[in-house]
Amino acid sequence: MSIWSTPGFTISHADSGTFAGAGLRPFFEYRQLGVTEATGGKFGAHVIRAVPGMESPGIWHTHDLDFQMVYVTKGWVVFEYEGEGEHTLRAGSCVLQPSGIRHREVRHSDDMELIEIVSPAEFETHSVETP
């Protein structure tokens, strides 16, 4: 039995995908992988890459979601998590971020690229005080 009511099949190819700057953070570009449509919004998946020369302001925030996983495919990125400290993720690194954890993106390489999978696809992000 399927966990969503839509057909659920999708394929996304890098050579036909496009990146858009209209995303959560202006220093990143996003390429949607079709998962949102295939799951009726229950899940989302996208490739995120750094905009060369742009830096993160390092704003602490939380997300209202049930699941968030990040897998770095290129370069490196430094995240800081409340109660966990700073962690440098590099190509091949994966992190499961618990729902509601305070975190921030501290810095990243110009060639940074990662895959993020979330549930649900649409969620709220809230700026929070520094822990």
Per-residue pLDDT, 61: 95
Residues found in the chain: 131
Residue 73 zone, left/alpha/beta (φ > 0; ψ -120 to 50; rest): alpha
> 1 falls in which pLDDT band (50, 70, 90)?
very low
Note whether 62 and 100 are within 8 A (CB): yes
Q: How do residues 12-29 score in pLDDT, each as one tens digit?
A: 888 777 877 655 667 889
The arithmetic mean of pLDDT across residues 39-44, rounded, is 94
Distance (Å, whole) CA 63 – CA 103:
9
Buried b (16+ CB within 10 A) or exposed e, 26-38: ebbbbbbbebbeb
Domain extents in the chain: 28-127
CATH architecture of the domain 28-127 equals Sandwich (2.60)
Q: Decide which of 8 and 52 is more confident.
A: 52
